[in-house]
Amino acid sequence: MSPTPTGRLLGGDLVLTRTFPAPVIDVWASLTDPERTARWFGPWEGEAGPGRIIKVQMAHEQGQPWMDMTIDACEPPHRLAISAGEADDRWRLDLVLTERAGITELRFTQHLTRLDGLGEIGPGWEFYLDALVAARDGTPMPSFDDYYPALKEHFEAQRRG
């Protein structure tokens, strides 16, 4: 059974949300502490800070490659903006946390430069965010095979309008 997609295309932005029954500072640590990011995305190394470049390992990708990511903004514990890739294919990501009554919402946004590939990108982020949920809950990690190609059409349909 494939997971239910949550991602929506809003203009040129792909937006996904997840909620956590936890304080914002704890969810922030899941997004920024290298030992905790290793549990769901991959470890990172380097000296973090706005304008700095860190190396992040894509632990769930084939070959587990390392990639450079630039920290564009860091406003603990509410906003982290990072980017990676080359100028014409640069991925710009914005992670915003808000807490209300002990419940923290993560609003994950990828600012897209083009819409081709949305059918692959969307399922990938759904997988990673569900991996974050699993890592925080201590439940088994999801399998990417449950996300792609099962969720591809959901995202392609949004691209077509």
How many whole angstroms separate alpha carbon 23 and alpha carbon 27?
7
How many whole angstroms separate alpha carbon 72 and alpha carbon 90?
12
String of DSSP letters for 130-153: HHHHHHHHTPPPP-GGGTTTTTHH
The reported pTM is: 0.95
- The whole-number pLDDT of residue 87 equals 74
- The whole-number pLDDT of residue 57 equals 94
Could you state, in order of their start, the residue ranges of all structural domains in the chain?
8-156
- The whole-number pLDDT of residue 160 equals 81
How many whole angstroms separate alpha carbon 87 and alpha carbon 47?
23
- The whole-number pLDDT of residue 60 equals 86
**CATH hierarchy code of domain 8-156:** 3.30.530.20
Are the C-beta atoms of 108 and 125 separated by less than 8 Å?
Answer: yes
With a cut of 50, which residues of the chain have pLDDT below it? none
- The whole-number pLDDT of residue 91 equals 94
Distances (CA, A) of 29 to 19, 78, 110, 127, 154: 15, 11, 20, 20, 31
